[in-house]
């Protein structure tokens, strides 16, 4: 199989290492390890205003795009006023990832969004978010703030034959979620392919008109879920092979 290059959008947060204490682009190894295990070559993508204006500067160099978890999106990105429930945001990251996600959807580049990444995909397609799930009548999806532990496991109902099912299995499955926001109005072209139980919050969305465009609200990168990214990486490999000169 051709080794596809998977661009992984980095978080941008305060960090400490050695004697440094500053803003840094962060790529958790759990995501990188899952990409490598599936046969992909992960490369970090750092927010840059030039790529916001010209996303092809980045997307021309990768075969698939991975949008990882992180902080809240700025509500203005989906046309809503900020509520008191909105937590920390990183506008430069929002602008970068939304630009890449829109362009990836437009050019049919394989894209996988995880947690915040699913929300980025929905907003990139014109959708909106609930700014705090319990205020909107949904269950608590962050029972252990700051941790992914046993309390964050819950059931989802996954549509058979979907990309979500190829990741997790179909029917009722156990996943591990940690979020207080979620998809409200669906973006153009998106369909829901997994719901949390029993509150029926959208836990996976995908775009049937694209070769692979999937967002999952849970964290398939954690080892104890045993969710492989093989289909995503395989589609990216096919894309890479098609782009190679004859």
Pairing of strands 153-158, 191-196: antiparallel
203 classed as catalytic: no
d(CA 160, CA 60) in angstroms, rounded, equals 33
3-state secondary structure of 186: coil
Backbone angles phi, psi at 183, to 5 degrees: -70, 130
Helices (H) and strands (E) in the chain, counts: 7, 13
Which is the catalytic residue, given 74, 115, 206, 227?
Answer: 115
What token pair was written down for 223?
Answer: 């080892």
Please name the helix (run of DSSP H) or strand (run of DSSP E) that holds residue 24, with its range, or none.
Answer: strand 20-26
Contact 53, 60 (CB under 8 A): no
Q: Is 9 a catalytic residue?
A: no
| Catalytic option among 97, 203, 206, 221 | 221
| Active-site position among 130, 141, 180, 219 | 219
Please indicate whether residue 221 is annotated as part of the active site: yes
Query: Which residues form the catalytic set?
Result: 115, 219, 221
């Amino acid at each position: 199989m051709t080794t596809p290059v998977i661009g992984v959008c980095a978080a941008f947060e305060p960090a400490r290492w050695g004697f440094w204490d500053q803003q840094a682009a962060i790529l958790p190894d759990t995501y990188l390890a899952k990409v490598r295990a599936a046969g992909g070559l992960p490369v970090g993508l750092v927010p840059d205003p030039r790529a916001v204006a010209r996303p092809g500067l980045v997307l021309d160099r990768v075969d698939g795009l991975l949008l990882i978890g992180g902080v809240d999106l700025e509500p203005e990105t989906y046309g809503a006023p900020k509520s008191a429930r909105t937590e920390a945001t990183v506008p430069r990251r929002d602008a970068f990832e939304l630009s890449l996600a829109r362009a990836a959807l437009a050019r049919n580049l394989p894209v996988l969004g995880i947690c915040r990444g699913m929300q980025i995909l929905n907003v990139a397609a014109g959708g909106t978010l609930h700014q705090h799930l319990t205020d909107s009548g949904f269950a608590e999806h962050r029972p252990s703030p700051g941790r992914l532990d046993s309390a964050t496991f819950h059931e989802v109902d996954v549509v058979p034959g979907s990309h979500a099912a190829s990741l997790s299995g179909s029917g009722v499955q156990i996943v591990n979620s940690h979020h207080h926001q979620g998809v409200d109005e669906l973006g153009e072209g998106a369909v829901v392919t997994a719901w949390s139980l029993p509150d029926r919050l959208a836990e996976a969305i995908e775009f049937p008109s694209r070769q692979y465009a999937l967002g999952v609200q849970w964290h398939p990168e954690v080892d104890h879920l045993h969710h492989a990214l093989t289909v995503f990486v395989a589609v990216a490999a096919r894309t890479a092979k098609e782009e190679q000169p004859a």
